[in-house]
Structure 1
Amino acid sequence: MAFTFQPYAPAPKYKQAAAYFSMEFALDQALKIYSGGLGFLAGSHMRSAFELKQNLVGIGILWSYGYYDQGRNPDRTLRVDYTQKQYSFLQDTGLVFPITIHGADVHVRALYLAPETFGTAPMFFLTTDIPENDYLSRTISHHLYDPDAAARVAQSILLGVGGGKLLDLLGRPTDVYHLNEGHGLPLAFYLYEKHGRQLAEVQRRLVFTTHTPELAGNEERPLKLLTDMSFFGPVPEAEIRQVARLDGTTLNYTLTALRFAHRANAVSKVHGTVANEMWGHYEGICPIIPITNSQNGTYWRDPQLAAALKGKDDAALLARKRELKQALFKAVADQTGNIFDPDVLTIVWARRFAAYKRADLILHHFERFVALATNAKHPIQMIWAGKPYPLDYGAISVFNSLISRTKNLPNCAVLMGYELELSAELKKGSDVWLNTPRYPREASGTSGMTAAMNASVNVSIADGWIPEFIKDGENGFVIAHAPVEQPDNVKDDAEATALLDILENHVLPLYYDQPKNFLKVVKTAMKDVEPAFESGRMAREYYEKLYKI
Structure 2
Amino acid sequence: MANYDRWYHPYEINEKYNKRVAYFCMEYGIHQALKIYSGGLGFLAGSHMRSAYDLRQNMIGIGILWKNGYYDQVRNDDQTMGVLFQKKFYTFLEDSGITVRIIVNNHPVFVKAMVLKPEVFGTVPLYLLTTDIPENDHLGRTITHRLYDPEPMARIAQSIVLGVGGAKVVDALGGAETYHMNEGHALPLAFHLYDKFGTANEVRKRMVFTTHTPEKAGNEEHDINLLNRMGFFSSVSFDEAREITGMYGQTLNYTLAALRLSKVANGVSQLHGEVSRSMWYGNDRVCEIKAITNAQNKLFWMDDVMEQALNHNNDELLTHRKAEMKEQLFEIVADQTGKIFRPDVLTVVWARRFAAYKRADLLLRDLERFLSIIGRKEQPVQFIWAGKPYPFDTGAVKTFNDLVRISYRRENFAVLTGYEIALSKKLKCGADIWLNTPRRPREASGTSGMTAAMNGAINFSVRDGWLPEFARHGENSFVIPVADTSRSENLQDEEDYHNMMHILEDEIVPTYYHDKQRWTTIMKNSMRDVLPHFNSDRMAHEYYDKMY
- What's the TM-score bracket when you normalise by the shorter of the two chains? over 0.9
Distance, in Å, in 1 between the alignment partners of 2:169 and 2:430 is: 42
Aligned match of 2:106 in 103, 109, 112?
Answer: 103
Aligned match of 2:369: 368
Residue 375 (structure 1) shift: 2.0
Q: Secondary structure at the match of 2:283?
A: coil
Q: Secondary structure at the match of 1:288?
A: strand
Q: Name the TM-score, length of structure 2 as normaliser.
A: 0.98
Distance, in Å, in 2 between the alignment partners of 1:247 and 1:112 is: 39
Q: Which moved more, 1:333-342 or 1:405-414?
A: 405-414
Q: Deviations over 1:469-488 (max 9, x none)?
A: 10111000101132111111
Amino acid at match of 1:364: R
Residue 7 (structure 1) shift: 2.2
1:308 aligns with 2:309: yes
Aligned match of 1:118 in 117, 121, 134?
Answer: 121
Distance, in Å, in 1 between the alignment partners of 2:194 and 2:237 is: 12
Aligned match of 1:534: 535
Q: Deviations over 1:18-73 (max 9, x none)?
A: 01000000000000000000000000000000000000000000000000001011
Aligned match of 1:84: 87
Post-superposition, which runs of at least 4 consecutive aligned residues in structure 1 deviate over 6 A? none
8 Å CA contact 1:101–1:229 kept in 2: the answer is yes
Q: Secondary structure at the match of 1:76?
A: coil
Distance, in Å, in 2 between the alignment partners of 1:394 and 1:267 is: 27
1:150 aligns with 2:158: no
Aligned match of 2:23: 20
Aligned match of 1:133: 136
Amino acid at match of 1:486: R
Q: Secondary structure at the match of 1:131?
A: coil
Aligned match of 2:519: 518
Matches within 5 A, 1:257-406: 257-406=258-407
Q: Secondary structure at the match of 2:143?
A: helix
Aligned match of 2:9: 6
Matches within 5 A, 1:434-449: 434-449=435-450
Aligned match of 1:161: 164
8 Å CA contact 1:34–1:144 kept in 2: the answer is yes
CA RMSD of aligned residues (A): 0.9
1:73 aligns with 2:86: no
Distance, in Å, in 2 between the alignment partners of 1:279 and 1:348 is: 35
Identity %: 54
Aligned match of 1:189: 191
**Structure 1 unmatched ranges of 5 or more:** none
Q: Which moved more, 1:418-427 or 1:234-243?
A: 234-243
Q: Secondary structure at the match of 1:362?
A: helix
8 Å CA contact 2:4–2:98 kept in 1: the answer is no
Q: Secondary structure at the match of 2:124?
A: coil
Q: Secondary structure at the match of 2:294?
A: coil
Q: Secondary structure at the match of 2:115?
A: strand
Aligned match of 1:411: 412
Amino acid at match of 1:179: M
Aligned match of 2:173: 170
Q: Deviations over 1:326-380 (max 9, x none)?
A: 0000000000000000000000000112111011111111111112112222110
Amino acid at match of 1:162: G
Distance, in Å, in 2 between the alignment partners of 1:488 and 1:6 is: 50
Aligned match of 2:483: 482
Amino acid at match of 1:230: G
Residue 3 (structure 1) shift: 5.3
8 Å CA contact 1:3–1:91 kept in 2: the answer is no
Distance, in Å, in 2 between the alignment partners of 1:448 and 1:6 is: 32
8 Å CA contact 1:481–1:491 kept in 2: the answer is no
Distance, in Å, in 2 between the alignment partners of 1:203 and 1:33 is: 29
Distance, in Å, in 2 between the alignment partners of 1:6 and 1:408 is: 53
Q: Secondary structure at the match of 1:141?
A: coil
Amino acid at match of 2:325: L
8 Å CA contact 1:365–1:497 kept in 2: the answer is no
8 Å CA contact 1:384–1:413 kept in 2: the answer is yes
1:207 aligns with 2:208: yes
Amino acid at match of 1:416: T
Distance, in Å, in 2 between the alignment partners of 1:92 and 1:508 is: 54
Q: Secondary structure at the match of 1:193?
A: helix
8 Å CA contact 2:270–2:293 kept in 1: the answer is yes
8 Å CA contact 2:326–2:431 kept in 1: the answer is yes
Distance, in Å, in 2 between the alignment partners of 1:96 and 1:488 is: 50
8 Å CA contact 1:445–1:464 kept in 2: the answer is yes
Residue 121 (structure 1) shift: 0.7
8 Å CA contact 1:71–1:78 kept in 2: the answer is yes
Distance, in Å, in 1 between the alignment partners of 2:376 and 2:482 is: 26
Distance, in Å, in 2 between the alignment partners of 1:343 and 1:238 is: 66
Aligned match of 1:455: 456
Q: Secondary structure at the match of 1:387?
A: coil
Residue 247 (structure 1) shift: 2.2
Q: Secondary structure at the match of 2:479?
A: strand
Distance, in Å, in 1 between the alignment partners of 2:243 and 2:99 is: 34
Aligned match of 2:499: 498
**Structure 2 unmatched ranges of 5 or more:** none
Amino acid at match of 1:58: G
Distance, in Å, in 2 between the alignment partners of 1:408 and 1:83 is: 31
Distance, in Å, in 1 between the alignment partners of 2:134 and 2:10 is: 30
